[in-house]
Amino acid sequence: MLNGKSILVTGGTGSFGKHFIKRVLSESPNVKKIIIFSRDELKQFEMAQLEPFCSNLDKLRFYIGDVRDKERLIRACEGVDVIIHAAALKQVPAAEINPMECIKTNVFGAENVIDAALNCGVTKVVALSTDKAAAPINLYGATKLCSDKLFTAAPNMKGSRELAFSVVRYGNVMGSRGSVIPFFIKKAKEGKLPITDEGMTRFNITLDQGVNMVLYALENAWGGEIFVPKIPSYKILDVAKAIGPSCEYPVVGIRPGEKIHEEMITETDSINTVDCGKYYVILPSSPVWKVEEFKSHFNAKSVLVGFKYNSGVNSEWLTPEEIRELIVKHVDSEFKPI
């Protein structure tokens, strides 16, 4: 699908960006160009030393820039066909005490990506969202909800351009930087794993699943949709038992801006949500295409009004044993519980 295309990945040195680019290099060997757009020159340098990136430098362009800088972003997007927008400030506690910094990157940066796409002849844009954007209670979630609204409204500004904007929304990415599993693996050596709340739950998705979803959106988006995966939940306490079964689990209380359970589809969203089999899709409230044609094309069915997709009432749960298997497969092949 991406052979012959030029792709720009904002936040391209992050966990998702690197995994996505690896997949593209593997599955679309004739991709024209991949631009890694990010702020940190050291991360770009380190990424360029690793396989498969160092073997494909003729196809890669490392571009230092910030999504807050619209002029720089537009320059980077010249000749680009596809944008994957993965850049964000995502640490919840940091956003609570640095609110404007989070707004500048996550909201103004999203608008800059949209403007760059409209100005540069881009044909596909997929933006990464988060479960924290559904009924947000923290600033990070609120900024990502704003970002989602910008991208789902953007098709109304495309005019006659052949351009589709869409969003993918999913839960905690297993093993991503700053997430709970790498934190617990490190802390287990101390014999204590701090638990925020024994009843806390989260959705779980692997990087492979996240990339699969972005590729699905690239191929199937009509414009303005939010794609939501059907994925399992886990209990934070079960993650601790999987990683440190012999550890103590002191309860330290939830951090500012945290929820006990996360949502990806709220009851209000259910009015515009359809089930496409592998994914739920939240349709735009003012689509530029006919909803019935979309549903017929994808054999999609509307969910029941009042439906909600919540990590605490999920139908699929990971056990500590299954969490261990996933850690070995997707995070650390040499992992051993302590």
* b/e burial code for range 1-37 (CB count within 10 A of at least 16 → b): ebeebbbbbbbbbbbbbbbbbbbbbeebeebebbbbb
User: Are 42 and 16 spatial neighbours (Cβ–Cβ below 8 Å)?
Assistant: no
Exposure of 335 by Cβ count < 10 A (0-12 exposed, 13-18 middle, 19+ buried)? Answer: middle
Residue 254: both structure tokens together: 């939830």
User: CA-based diameter of the chain, in Å?
Assistant: 62
Residue 47: both structure tokens together: 């990424």
Q: How far is CA 117 from its chain centroid? A: 19
Q: How many CA atoms lie within 13 A of 310 on its CB side?
A: 13
Active site residues: 132
How many other CB atoms are found less than 10 A from the CB of residue 311?
25
